[in-house]
Structure 1
């Protein structure tokens, strides 16, 4: 049934589904799919990039349109994914977070796997074997967890003020971490000077950027600055 719905959507017979049902885990996962502006260039012989966008905790999954717009203009298919459901326990406020929140990040990584395995058989003109992962705050932690656990499916990761999960130390995964100004990351989440010289990573600090504003709810100057950082990262092989 799912494959039939998605296949119909790709043929223009209906709109894309707004959720996927993971029957094994009894989860209905909200999604929003956008195809690239130049989708005719995407073929099974020359597949276009795929970006998974994971929202921050408490932020609707479709409130990162500034990222979506930047990506579809550059030939990406985007899949915005909602991770937090009403049935889920609240994000733990108890330290140490790396232990008390691990279940949340593991569940999110399982969701990314499910979405990839569900969409790949239908969207054959798109590359689900080399994903670009985008995530804000807890969504960035989920993305980092997935990239560390399943690196073979990840080409690049962009986190927006993720704070808890160590970013990948992997020469095959490009990393951009956009940093706000009001909260620091936990110890060792970001890179030492020697690690920056070793791995293909970029860390961009944005002055006066509040963590809770780093979505579509934020001011135009901030979403524009983040969008530009993403564009430069996509188009260039270094931070400069």
Structure 2
């Protein structure tokens, strides 16, 4: 509690709050790097009125701290954002051969286990935030990790936003609110995205950005693209209809 009061005081001075640490998972002997950025109006978060939480998973080979355009927007929308470094130097490299769904499943399963562990670990420390209604956000391989966990039927996952993930099928059970923002240079694997009828039946929103490139959906991408992504994401979080997101 004292820690968050100090943060509130700093926010009042218009300084963005960033808290970085390594969180140790004893069961797997794994030290997980995370960077947390806090809601702009942190003083509104309390044990009685909890603020929402988003877990942000990076694309493979991209640092988890290179998606500040997303975290800043979500902070403005009232979210605590936890950006997660999934790949450690000791991990095997991501497979590039064979049936990629099979050969990469170890990576996605490990990432999903990391998200599940962090949910339990951080919820015990930050009781002003609602870890029981998580939003998962992931670019590329980070989106595959998010979709993998979404398919495990965890009751605490409320929403998923993927940014041009291409391998793991999105959940189809209708229990999770889903948005997938698509680039235009590579198609997703067969079955990853729902059909038009599935989108309508399950309330899944797919938005493609013309001329957007897969590798540009990071802080290194052009401003027009990051602005489009954050605009679509903001409309989605605010409850706009999918048709409005496509127009945006």
Per-residue Cα deviation, 1:152-188 (whole angstroms, up to 9, x for no partner): 1111000000000000112221111010111100001
Alignment-derived partner of residue 4 in structure 2: 10
Alignment of 1:176-215 (within 5 A): 176-215=179-218
Runs of at least 5 residues in structure 2 that lack an aligned partner in the other structure: 8-16
Q: CA deviation at 1:15?
A: 7.1
Q: In 1, are the aligned partners of 2:18 and 2:36 still within 8 Å (CA)?
A: no
Q: In 2, are the aligned partners of 1:200 and 1:238 still within 8 Å (CA)?
A: no
Q: Which residue of the other structure, out of 72, 91, 94, is the alignment partner of 2:75?
A: 72
Alignment-derived partner of residue 119 in structure 2: 116
Q: Secondary structure at the match of 1:151?
A: coil
Structure 1 CA distance, aligned partners of 2:193 and 2:30?
32
Alignment of 1:12-91 (within 5 A): 12=6, 16-91=19-94
Per-residue Cα deviation, 1:121-146 (whole angstroms, up to 9, x for no partner): 11111110110000000000000001
Q: In 2, are the aligned partners of 1:53 and 1:133 still within 8 Å (CA)?
A: yes
Alignment-derived partner of residue 148 in structure 1: 151
Indicate yes or no: 2:126 matched with 1:132. Answer: no
Per-residue Cα deviation, 1:195-216 (whole angstroms, up to 9, x for no partner): 0111121111011111111110
Q: In 2, are the aligned partners of 1:135 and 1:142 still within 8 Å (CA)?
A: yes
Q: Secondary structure at the match of 1:182?
A: coil
Structure 2 CA distance, aligned partners of 1:194 and 1:15?
42
Runs of at least 5 residues in structure 1 that lack an aligned partner in the other structure: 1-6
Q: TM-score, normalised by structure 2?
A: 0.90
Q: Secondary structure at the match of 2:74?
A: helix
Q: Secondary structure at the match of 1:149?
A: coil
Structure 2 CA distance, aligned partners of 1:104 and 1:189?
17
Evaluate the alpha carbon distance shift between residue 8 and residue 42 of structure 1 in structure 2; reply closer, same or farther with a 3 A threshold.
Answer: closer
Deviates more, 1:230-239 or 1:134-143: 230-239
Q: Secondary structure at the match of 2:49?
A: coil
Alignment-derived partner of residue 236 in structure 2: 233
Evaluate the alpha carbon distance shift between residue 134 and residue 41 of structure 1 in structure 2; reply closer, same or farther with a 3 A threshold.
Answer: same
Alignment-derived partner of residue 3 in structure 1: none
Deviates more, 1:177-186 or 1:148-157: 148-157
Alignment of 1:89-108 (within 5 A): 89-108=92-111
Per-residue Cα deviation, 1:32-86 (whole angstroms, up to 9, x for no partner): 0011011111121221110000000000000111111110111101000010010
Q: In 1, are the aligned partners of 2:18 and 2:38 still within 8 Å (CA)?
A: no
